[in-house]
Structure formats: structure tokens, C-alpha cells
């Protein structure tokens, strides 16, 4: 049965821009009237939203990303799955599940060109549509061009992108898969549960990060999915083998409160014929059908896992983002609304 439309609902707004770690003071929870779809608009009951580290970047004054920053005083945005209540002129059916970006709220009237019906035929689990899996697929297939027999390094291996990137690298024939993580518990998790061959601690252990990475990949690295930047990207360039492909994909070093700036000896790039490629997921939507088919099949036959955390209630979303950025969670982070 469809949800009755209440008079009011809860939204989370950006209260102030952060300059350091996130706290409760950066968010404001408000109770406001449920939006009116007006003539022809689509009213959606949001069911689940994704919380991702890029939101920390979008809370700042200006970001280099091709996504609008959040505005102070306005409700934040997030990839969200919802159920159509009033289809308006959209051609959708009441009860149909859709993907849009008007998250951080219980009810939404998304922009008409932002509403896509969920392809539940090839990927039946709505939660999987909110994973970072598509980004991981792009990083592996297009950014790092993983090939059979490659030794692959995934930085930020326990994050939403990293947990899938290691599995997708293996699916594309990787011979050895190495990840970087922030704790021994996460190292054990990616090796035992996700099939990584080795995990390097980013902030602990013998010697420098580069020495630890070299010990895990004594013959060098052929392909890199770099979610972190900074010291880890610099080390990956130095440990890379001739002809390596390095996908520069994320800036977790900065989103975690530090810096993703990297000093790279360009002579090494030339001498080793390394491809250093900034990779943006939006440039590769042509591979969505391949990706959805592969993930749907892998989840169904159990060859792929989708590790994720669930929080309940939109009022828990700020805590979910704070815990994610503090490194307390492994895998994707979803909030049931």
C-alpha cells in the first residue's frame, strides 16, 4: 500500500561550511511542509540514500568537481532511491522505484531530468544502485585498464569504491591485488572477506608507506586505482612497473582532513611509460549496461559481495557521514529514510 502523504517531513540542511573535522554544528535538522509537486511534478517518498566522502568536498565553498556545492541554509543532496507517489507528467507509475539526487530529506520533488527509473531487471537490489560500485567499475576498467595477470594496487581499499574495486580487478583477471587501509581490522577484512592478497596500513607499520607497499609488491605494480592521493599516489608512481596505468580517482587524503598534494618525478613517468589518468565516473556512462549485468550476476551467484553499513532515519545521516570520514566504517554507507 502506498504511503499517505503527511503534512510535514524532516530535512537536513548545511548549517555552516566546515574547515576541519565535521561536527553536529555543520548540520541543521528542520521539520518543514512536504514539498508540493505542483502541476505535472513527481512526488517521491525517499526510501534510502547514500552517504559518500565527496559530500565533505561539496560542503566547502568551492570544489574542483563538476557537481554544484551545497549551499549554506539549503537541504543537502545525495543519490537516493525513492518510490513514486504522484507521477505527474513523468510517465512513471505510482509505486515505481526511481533514482534521483534530492536526498537528505524524507519526501522529495526531484527535478524532472534528475529522475531515472531503477533497472531492477539486471540489478534487483535497490541498495546496490546506491553503492559506489559503478565508480569502482569505471576506475578498474577505464581508469586503470586492469588486464589479466596484473598486479593491482587499490588505495582506500576498505572504502565504498575500494571494497568493489578489488573484486572487479580480480574479475578482470588481476593476478595479485593489494590494498591500503587505515587499521589492522580493515586489513583483515579486505583480505579475508574481499579476496585482497595483501593490505598495507597507511599510517602504521615498519618503514615508510612506500617501503611497505614495495614489500607487498616486490615485482612492482601494473595498475593502480588511487582513491587517496598525496603520499600514497607518490609511492605508487615509484613502485609502478614499466607501462603501468594509474587511475587518479579520489582525494581521501584531503577529505580525511589532510592534503592530497603529491610531488611526482615526471622523469619516472617518461622513463617507465606510465599513464597517469584523472578519471571521472560521469565520462563513462556508456559502460553502465556491462556494469549492471556483471554486478547483478555476481551478487546473485555469490561471486561478488557488496559490503555496506545501514543507518536508520534521515536524522542519522550527519552521524553516518562523520563516522565514514573518521574511518570507522568499511564499505558503502546507506541511510534508510
Ligand X SMILES: NC(=O)c1ccc[n+]([C@@H]2O[C@H](COP(=O)([O-])OP(=O)(O)OC[C@H]3O[C@@H](n4cnc5c(N)ncnc54)[C@H](OP(=O)(O)O)[C@@H]3O)[C@@H](O)[C@H]2O)c1
| Least spacing, CB of residue 79 vs ligand X, in Å | 10
Residues in CB range of 242: below 8 A, 6 or more apart? 272, 273
| Least spacing, CB of residue 327 vs ligand X, in Å | 3
Does 280 engage in binding with ligand X (CB under 6 A)?
yes
Considering the complex, state which of residue 80 and residue 255 has its C-beta at the smaller distance from ligand X.
255
Does 252 engage in binding with ligand X (CB under 6 A)?
yes
Stretch that binds ligand X, among 33-41, 114-122, 209-217, 253-261 (CB under 6 A): 253-261
Considering the complex, state which of residue 75 and residue 227 has its C-beta at the smaller distance from ligand X.
227
Size of interface with ligand X, in residues (CB under 6 A): 31
| Least spacing, CB of residue 111 vs ligand X, in Å | 21
Residue of 98, 135, 140, 174 that binds ligand X (CB under 6 A):
135
Considering the complex, state which of residue 82 and residue 230 has its C-beta at the smaller distance from ligand X.
230
C-alpha cell at 273: 611509460
Residue of 189, 249, 291, 306 that binds ligand X (CB under 6 A):
249
Considering the complex, state which of residue 53 and residue 167 has its C-beta at the smaller distance from ligand X.
53
Contact by Cβ (8 Å): 315, 12: yes
- How far is residue 172 CA from its own chain's centroid? 20
Cα–Cα distance for residue pair 54/2, rounded to 1 Å: 33
Cα–Cα distance for residue pair 193/196, rounded to 1 Å: 8
Cα–Cα distance for residue pair 234/20, rounded to 1 Å: 24
Does 320 engage in binding with ligand X (CB under 6 A)?
no
C-alpha cell at 206: 615498519
Stretch that binds ligand X, among 21-29, 170-178, 233-241, 324-332 (CB under 6 A): 324-332
Looking only at the bridges linking them, the beta strands covering 176-181 and 240-248 are unpaired
Does 133 engage in binding with ligand X (CB under 6 A)?
no
Binding residues (CB under 6 A) for ligand X: these are 52-54, 132, 135, 156, 158-162, 181-182, 186, 202, 227-228, 249-253, 255-256, 258, 279-281, 324, 327, 329
Amino acid at each position: 500500500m502506498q504511503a499517505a502523504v503527511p503534512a510535514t517531513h524532516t530535512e537536513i540542511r548545511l548549517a555552516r561550511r566546515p574547515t576541519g573535522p565535521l561536527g553536529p554544528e555543520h548540520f541543521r535538522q528542520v521539520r518543514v511542509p512536504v514539498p508540493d509537486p505542483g502541476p505535472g511534478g513527481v512526488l517521491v517518498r525517499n526510501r534510502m540514500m547514500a552517504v559518500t566522502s565527496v559530500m565533505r568536498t561539496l560542503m566547502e565553498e568551492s570544489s574542483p568537481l563538476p557537481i554544484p556545492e551545497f549551499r549554506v541554509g539549503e537541504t543537502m543532496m545525495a543519490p537516493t532511491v525513492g518510490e513514486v507517489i504522484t507521477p505527474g507528467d513523468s510517465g512513471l507509475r505510482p509505486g515505481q522505484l526511481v533514482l534521483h539526487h534530492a536526498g537528505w530529506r524524507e519526501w522529495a520533488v526531484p527535478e524532472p531530468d534528475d529522475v531515472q527509473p531503477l533497472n531492477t531487471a539486471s540489478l534487483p537490489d535497490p541498495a546496490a544502485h546506491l553503492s559506489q560500485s559503478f565508480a569502482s567499475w569505471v576506475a578498474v576498467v577505464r581508469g586503470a585498464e586492469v588486464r589479466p595477470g596484473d598486479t593491482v594496487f587499490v588505495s582506500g581499499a576498505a572504502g565504498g569504491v575500494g571494497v568493489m574495486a578489488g573484486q572487479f580487478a580480480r574479475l578482470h583477471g588481476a593476478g595479485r591485488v593489494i590494498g591500503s587501509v587505515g587499521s589492522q581490522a580493515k586489513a583483515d577484512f579486505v583480505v579475508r572477506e574481499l579476496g585482497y592478497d595483501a593490505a598495507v596500513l597507511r599510517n602504521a607499520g615498519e618503514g615508510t608507506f612506500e617501503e611497505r607497499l614495495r614489500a607487498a609488491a616486490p615485482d612492482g605494480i601494473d595498475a593502480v586505482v588511487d582513491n587517496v592521493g598525496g603520499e600514497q599516489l607518490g609511492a605508487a608512481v615509484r613502485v609502478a612497473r614499466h607501462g603501468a596505468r594509474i587511475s587518479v580517482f579520489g582525494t581521501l587524503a584531503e577529505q580525511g582532513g589532510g592534503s592530497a598534494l603529491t610531488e611526482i618525478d615526471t622523469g619516472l613517468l617518461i622513463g617507465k611509460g606510465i599513464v597517469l589518468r584523472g578519471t571521472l565516473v560521469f565520462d563513462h556512462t556508456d559502460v553502465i549496461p556491462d556494469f549492471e549485468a556483471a554486478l547483478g550476476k555476481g551478487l546473485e551467484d555469490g561471486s561478488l559481495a557488496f559490503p555496506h553499513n545501514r543507518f536508520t532515519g534521515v536524522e542519522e545521516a550527519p552521524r553516518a557521514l562523520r563516522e565514514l570520514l573518521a574511518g570507522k566504517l568499511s564499505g558503502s554507507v546507506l541511510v534508510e529514510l
